Chain A
């Protein structure tokens, strides 16, 4: 099983690593003493350790490695991967520390509208009202924790990926950029990080992708970028629509306007309390649609989803895992952070639109899945289908539906990387992705078969695994909101089971006593997955069970967030409209 992990290192490299690790340990130890504190006396754990370090470290490591002479590059791969992993683990340590209250005493379950448990603001481009404003609440923290836990797991799973000195720092950068999106409380920052996530992903696909990677990478980049451009127009419109404030002009902001989401949210809440639509209902609807387009492309929802299967099929394992695990969640996150927070009236107006798109994604996506013969395309479309549930959860306009949708993002963020790790390993070991090209995987790759079955079962919503919690909560809210329309998600659950079971029957099962090998192997034996892959998948599987059995670890936080959102603004809008 352990396929020679090439763990031998030279003394010099060993010294280099231990030195760097020691330095980072000392830095970490000293960090609280030189870190910046906000007015509440909290240390800024976000800006430097979670966003800046991974971005800087990734860039530096890549630059350092690429400057080495060619013959050394293979040898520095191992230490660079280890350093990347160390950084990733450090980030995981910090986010877990925040979760369990080791670093700051925070009760994540008690959210309020527009209040952030950690909140840090620094002036950035003052003349146009841009600030570096980062914060964490029940919504963003679950996503940040998800990112920090996924990054090391992705690194472990793809430890043996070629050109590791380039690959792992890219993943690290990806982590920094993703966390940047989730912690940003300033539209300018938000957009910068939103676009920044495209860059590492673009190179991951381009460099390690399949045969048609050029097309896929360009399609991925241009498609999502187009969606983002509309969102950018929305951001600029929003910026100029808000009234100019003399107080800001006095502070040196030339336009008297700000990109700060929290400032806008104050305005939105004040308007809602006064029973008027913030910025006017028509403008709000236009803005809502602009943002929605950007988020729907990212999510992705039918009919803006076709970049996803192409990108996934061509992307390497790490790319797929991060793409499905975290990048898609940016869309759902944006819907909450921007659309639900700032445009509640428009959200209520367009409830039907979210419902329609969500339902189409869910049902249509599942049927498309059933028609796929390519394993990665199947899993990609299952993502489209599951993302529909997020839209449905929002469309219910119930706190439970919101919490369920956020939990869906979280659960899918754990489960889908497992699915793509399995699909990637499948490709790696059988040199094909066609379902039905081989049989009897349980015979010749028992570990891969085990994780495939686990992942597939988790994804079809088996109880005591994370996905079920999301589905049941969204469905409870859905029944209350829309009644018998629940039949459509019900049918989808059956179809989902059908396509997963069918694909397992044609891969894991059958094949007689010796199993059947795919032609693409040309008669060569198929080895089982490596220890690295087993470890990565095992960790994901354990997380799936953990959050399936003890969902309240994060669900309470999401309930709290949803409560804050409704209590703060949405309830006013709903009852005001009624």
Chain B
């Protein structure tokens, strides 16, 4: 019988193979009408390939869920490298293999990655191919896009840490290529370099961590390093160092403090790339790696050994969540708000994982699994919501850009859409110049789009609600779990230090409510701030498909919750069955709103309610008071959005408060400077590394090669000195012969 696992290898291989094919075809057929039209400059191929991957993944997943045991299935394919090492005076042979490993975590991520990649591919067909800037180079986008997907899919499927690292690096390369897609822009090339180098710093830590791990276990296969007996046999201190080093790698990849600086700049890439990096693939890689450390922490042999490391993970998460939310307050670029939001939400997951690892390491297995499940569920919810948010922001930017293009062309009589308002060039100077001063991503140029882009506005609202954690929508279920886990940990004996991250997460929940609402209201509520925003309509094909799909998925978070997703992803033993959905929802609701019967139940209940209040009411209400507003006269939003807009205008009218003190404060200034991290890193690079390198180069040229040149010069000089002795005059030669003879006699005499 043919089973899906036999074809699983094709999931990463197909896109990798398609990568050079699209590049090649694109270079050959560049500019041809059919290539641009039917083939979408490679987009068709990419969509088909990634669709096939999605199909294979679903086949795999369905088969996997069907297994009641929920155990991992391993497909070892073969040895990649085999070699020998000297052990106690003997040659022992080892090998690094490759194969596939499937369990509940990898299956979940496999679905997230392939599903989102597929939707983003569809989105790109609309977004990339209708923008003249991308003309004749979309094949590069689609090829690199596929390689990126292959990196993520391969990483998730890998059965050992070496291949995890290999695909991890492939993703690093692709992020470099895609962030630098608009290579002609200095900012894009700088951002690409920054992303690669920053994550590279983390990667080196990860690599060293893997070296230590290999040395401990003599293997990097999951099945070997997770085996209870093997873990029990190694030194806990060394293992902790290895895990710490690997965690730093995850910090780099998932853009956590202090290696977070690359992520906001990564917005230089086209919007589908942002969706790809921030939702589907790259940033999840770091979380996946930390999740893969769970067995080490849960091992009874290591109980109590790694509590401080788990605490560190939670703290890094807490700090990043808070810091990113703070910076998101002042961002005007719609994509940058989302970038910081990503950073902040990933930090939630890190804290959740930190708490889960802490519980696992202190022997609270059941609650550890719950926290772990909640973190993974948040990863799922965040990926879906953030993918949608990025695509929705892309939709806004695309239409803004499009209208601006037409407004700018209005005078020259090119096809101006009837709804393009007036000839007022706000900042736009020249006719065909796409890179003039108008910023299609700046939220201050938007406003009032709720009626003009109903699908986008809805998607954005649902996505924001999920990120904020509005009750019953996607992210709510998981975020409550994470915050609850952090608080529970802080109340457990020995976990007092967890109070910091727990508090930070609680505050951040309210801040999330503020900045996400701020983004939505600035973009969609109020009156259009520019003529360009006034002329926007939703008209690009393909873009609505992923938006609607993901809206449904996000709204369906309650169903996933009812499926006991949390339990399933944690240990794979929950029964995923339709008949249980309703009772599952009931128990989840009770769990979320009325946690009782547990230790400190009252306090957890209080925390839960507090979270709901500040994230759902305080944060959004503040945003409404500052940025809300009625739509333009005559414009009418869809009924499910209209109440939101009118509520916001009412809140603003009733509570108009002035935030100029904050906006002009030194804090806001620091936030605009991203808390100066970028400046410090740049300064360290320019003031220390570069001068040192220049000194090395100088040393090499003047001292080392100078010595060689000195010898050259010395030998030339010396030979010309000696040449002076050959005067050519007989008298001198007779003199020398006489002296020589004398010397020989003296020597002989002396010896004798």
Contacts and interface: CB of A to CB of B under 8 A. Distances in A.
Contact of B193 (A505, A511, A575): A505
Contacts of A563: 84, 91
B84 A494 contact: no
Contacts of A367: 692-693, 696-697
Most buried by A among B189, B214, B694: B189
Contact of B689 (A370, A508, A513, A578): A370
Contact of B215 (A368, A403, A473, A479): A479
B84 A400 contact: yes
A493 B200 contact: yes
A397 B173 CA distance: 33
Contact of B696 (A368, A511, A574): A368
Contact of B83 (A400, A494, A504, A509): A400
A371 B197 contact: no
Interface string B414-453: 0000000000000000000001000000000000000000
Contact of B166 (A219, A464, A478, A566): A464
Nearest to B27: A446
Interface in B670-699: 689-690, 692-698
Contacts of A509: 180, 183-184, 186, 188-189, 192
Interface stretch (A156-164, A193-201, A335-343, A550-558): A550-558
B83 A473 contact: yes
Most buried by B among A305, A400, A477, A487: A400
A129 interface: no
Contacts, number: 168
A464 B197 CA distance: 19
Nearest to A450: B23
Nearest to B188: A509
A571 interface: yes
Interface stretch (A168-176, A238-246, A495-503): A495-503
B81 interface: yes
Contacts of A505: 189-190, 192-193
Contacts of B188: 509
Given A462-B169, A566-B86, A368 B697 contact: yes
Contacts of A469: 81
A371 B696 contact: yes
A302 B704 contact: yes
B243 to A, nearest CB: 16
Interface stretch (B201-209, B273-281, B285-293): B201-209
A403 B94 CA distance: 13
A476 interface: yes
Interface in A380-422: 397-400, 403
Contacts of B9: none
Nearest to A463: B166
Nearest to A575: B89
Contact of B184 (A370, A446, A501, A513): A513
Contact of B86 (A372, A442, A501, A574): A574
A474 to B, nearest CB: 11
Interface string B697-740: 11010001100100010000000000000000000000000000
Interface string A474-487: 01111110000011
Interface residues of B, number: 58
B4 interface: no
A559 B84 contact: yes
Contact of B80 (A498, A511, A551, A571): A551
Contact of B81 (A368, A493, A552): A552
A515 B189 CA distance: 13
Interface string A197-232: 000000000000000000000010001000000000
A525 interface: no
A562 interface: yes
B443 to A, nearest CB: 27
A358 to B, nearest CB: 17
Contacts of A371: 690, 693-698
B197 A497 contact: yes
Interface string A505-528: 100111111010000000000000
B82 A559 contact: yes
A35 interface: no
B93 to A, nearest CB: 8
18 contacts: A223-B708, A364-B700, A368-B693, A370-B689, A443-B183, A443-B184, A463-B170, A476-B215, A479-B212, A486-B211, A490-B208, A501-B196, A504-B193, A551-B81, A559-B81, A567-B91, A571-B89, A578-B89
Interface of A: 219, 223, 302-303, 305-307, 310, 364, 367-372, 397-400, 403, 440, 442-443, 446, 457, 462-464, 468-469, 472-473, 475-480, 486-487, 490-491, 493-495, 497-499, 501-502, 504-505, 508-513, 515, 551-552, 555-556, 559, 562-563, 566-567, 571, 574-575, 578
7 pairs of A and B residues whose beta carbons are closest in the complex: A371-B697, A509-B189, A370-B693, A463-B166, A306-B705, A479-B211, A371-B693
Interface of B: 27, 79-86, 89-91, 94, 162, 165-167, 169-170, 173, 176, 180, 183-186, 188-190, 192-193, 196-197, 200-201, 204-205, 207-208, 211-212, 214-215, 435, 689-690, 692-698, 700, 704-705, 708, 712
